[in-house]
Structure 1
């Protein structure tokens, strides 16, 4: 798949627009810290991520699943997970949705 330059610019603008202290930034930072097995496809990853969007209360289980995709739980993954400070998954995700709605691109 060839990545279009506009799509890249659009995603970069999105990332730049996010407040570093936000739940959205914390979740994306966690995602960047995770690694996947070589045999895992982008379609597989998209599927499990879409499942989170459909069931946001599953966030704690989803983070554990994502951390285990490479069959290794790294200290960086644990650090980023801890920085998310998830005490109530529904509240964390509700705040995240509000942050997403407030972005103006």
Structure 2
């Protein structure tokens, strides 16, 4: 199997394994509705996301930056952000890490 197809298979299996009510699912749902401008590079988005992984307490700022990537704060983005129910960014992300550790693939 080609590497790109195998990567897709891995990612699909990962997504299927995530409980829909989990913080991880809510975070990924937010990511799926967020849009970037055509001239936003993948490297830029990876850099932004790596910075979040290094400092999870910046989650509220990160979500705003991601929503603004296309210069349009859409209704879908606001809805997904609200469904995340972030009261404490550090706690939210700690739960995400725990959920990741508990996944069995």
Work out whether 1:83 is the aligned partner of 2:92: no
Structure 1 residues 46 and 19 mapped into 2: Cα distance closer, same or farther (>3 Å)?
same
Match of 1:70 in 2: 70
Match of 1:8 in 2: 8
Match of 1:99 in 2: 99
1:4 Cα deviation from its structure 2 partner: 1.1
Q: Summarize deviations over 1:12-42 as a string: whole Å, max 9, x none.
A: 0000000000000000000000000111011
- Structure 1 CA distance, aligned partners of 2:7 and 2:68? 29
Match of 1:59 in 2: 59
Instruction: Give the TM-score, by structure 2 length.
Output: 0.97
Instruction: Give the TM-score, by structure 1 length.
Output: 0.97
Q: Secondary structure at the match of 1:4?
A: helix
- Structure 2 CA distance, aligned partners of 1:15 and 1:47? 22
Q: Secondary structure at the match of 1:40?
A: coil
- Structure 2 CA distance, aligned partners of 1:100 and 1:66? 22
C-alpha RMSD over aligned residues: 1.1
Query: What is the number of residues matched between the two proteins?
Result: 104
